[in-house]
Amino acid sequence: MDMHNRVEFGVLAAFAALAICANAAPPQKSLFVGITDNCTTTNHNCVEEYYATALERCGHVPVIIPKTKSEAALRRILDRLDAVIISGGRPSVRRESCAAPRLDDPSDPVGWRDRFDSAVLRYAADRRMPVLGVCRGAQVMNVFFGGTMQSAYDTYYGKNGKPSVNHNRYSYFGAATNPPTHTISIVPGTRLARLVGTNGLAVACHHGKAVACIAPGFRVAAVAADGLVEAIESEDLPMIGVQFHPETVVAEHPAEGFELERLEALFRRLADY
């Protein structure tokens, strides 16, 4: 190849490379993502490692949001974050009826955590921050915005003529060795559907509560075969709550059984909420 042809070939290759870059999806921005403390005692701060590992795998920087009684301090922490995950954990007594709310016991440390998570949600809503609520986090989200919860054992788990779907088949740990708990159906046209698609999605679940009345301004984004609500999302705010645990699967990266890319999208694409 003579010099003229080499130069022409190099120019064409450069234009081809530019065209490929122009058509490629833009890289996802690396975010500072806060994870709410999920200790059940008031004198400790902790977060399950799965959340941090899942965020790191998806290119983000995890930041633990400690329980604090100072809303001013909490606001200063949240001011420095791009998104928030309301983590899972042991549920407390929450509104069990649309007509008759039940209040938490102020001395209950889990109830104290409800108030902490509510403060985070209040601030995130004011700032329109992307929020992912996981399991208990989805429940707190629903109740904070005016919805209610119920016992999954009383209404689901094969009762009242419903299909038998065990939403608590395995422990929280062990997604790498346990098969999916069950498959959920994604509601077309939702934000969740834009993130993960509408095909059935295999998930890992560990919970005993279920949505009863969905919060005003929210909608159902996914359901299980027995009708239990597996995901909710705000119609206006960039908030999604999932009843399942994507963080365990994304962190442990099991060799089979789960569609990792789809579950990773919940973390990787937080900026798209």
pLDDT on residue 94: 54
Query: What does the pLDDT average to over 129-147?
Result: 95
What element of type H or E holds 171? none
User: 48, 230, 233, 247: which one is catalytic?
Assistant: 247
What value does the mean pLDDT of the chain take?
84
Instruction: Return the closest-CA partner of residue 272 out of 227, 239, 235, 230.
Output: 239
Least confident of 11-20, 197-206, 257-266: 11-20
For residue range 71-100, what is the model confidence (pLDDT) as tens digits? 899 999 999 999 999 999 877 645 554 443
Measured on CA atoms in the order 129, 223, 188, 214, is the torsion positive or negative? Answer: negative
What sections of 219-269 are H helices per DSSP? Answer: 246-252, 260-268
Q: How far is CA 72 from the centre of its chain?
A: 26
Active site residue 135: yes
For residue range 203-258, what is the model confidence (pLDDT) as tens digits? 999 888 899 999 999 999 999 999 999 999 999 999 999 999 999 999 999 989 99
User: 48, 58, 60, 135: which one is catalytic?
Assistant: 135
CATH class for the domain made up of 29-272: alpha beta
Active site residue 46: no
Burial of 11 (0-12, 13-18, 19+ CB in 10 A): exposed
Active site residue 167: no
pLDDT on residue 41: 64
For residue 3, pLDDT over 60 is answered with no
